[in-house]
């Protein structure tokens, strides 16, 4: 629970703070920041799943669905709040990348021994979503 609270706070600070995305920019920085959304929120969904496991586990699929929906709701709230921060904007493409993270990472790691193919497919989808978020006006 403490790890989840710390991770959620880190996401809040990173997405709503004005210091993280500012400063020295390197070639491709906006793509790297957009690509990171999927992984960051995928980890949020995994941590939520582990916290909910003892309390809400009538079926394993329901557990991960609830965890993903909670992580997506947190993601949507943070994305909405970004529009209130000077110099930051709301982005539907970012939200779609977050959605890929919260549903995709638990899916890719669903088996007791996750397959490299599922993880590679998820990473390829994240790369495409990061590019969409970087170059679109959604």
Task: pLDDT tens for the chain, 138 residues: list them.
Answer: 888 888 888 888 877 776 655 555 666 777 877 788 888 899 999 999 888 876 655 566 678 888 899 999 999 999 999 888 887 788 888 898 899 889 988 888 877 777 888 888 888 888 888 888 888 765
Contacts of residue 57, defined as CB under 8 A and 6 or more positions apart, other chains included, come to 63
Greatest distance between any 2 Cα atoms in the chain: 48
pTM to 2 decimals?
A: 0.79
Alpha-carbon torsion angle 86, 20, 124, 51, nearest 10:
-100
Express each pLDDT in 108-121 by its tens digit.
Answer: 887 777 788 888 88
> Residue 44 in contact with residue 71, Cβ under 8 Å?
yes
pLDDT at 23: 54
pLDDT at 137: 65
pLDDT at 78: 92
Q: Give me the residue spans of the domains in the chain.
A: 29-135
Spatial distance between the Cα atoms of 34 and 54, rounded to a whole number of angstroms: 33
Tokens of 83: 């529009």
Express each pLDDT in 12-36 by its tens digit.
Answer: 887 777 665 555 566 677 787 778 8
């Amino acid at each position: 629970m403490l790890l989840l609270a710390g991770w959620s706070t880190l996401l809040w600070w990173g997405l709503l703070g004005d210091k993280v995305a500012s400063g020295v920019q390197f070639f491709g920085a906006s793509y790297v920041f957009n690509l990171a959304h999927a992984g960051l929120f995928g980890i949020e969904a995994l941590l939520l799943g582990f916290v909910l496991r003892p309390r809400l586990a009538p079926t394993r699929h329901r557990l991960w669905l609830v965890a993903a929906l909670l992580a997506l709701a947190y993601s949507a709230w943070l994305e909405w709040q970004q529009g209130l921060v000077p110099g930051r904007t709301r982005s539907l493409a970012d939200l779609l990348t977050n959605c890929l993270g919260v549903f995709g990472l638990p899916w890719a790691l669903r088996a007791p021994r996750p397959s490299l193919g599922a993880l590679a497919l998820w990473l390829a989808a994240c790369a495409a979503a990061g590019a969409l978020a970087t170059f679109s006006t959604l």
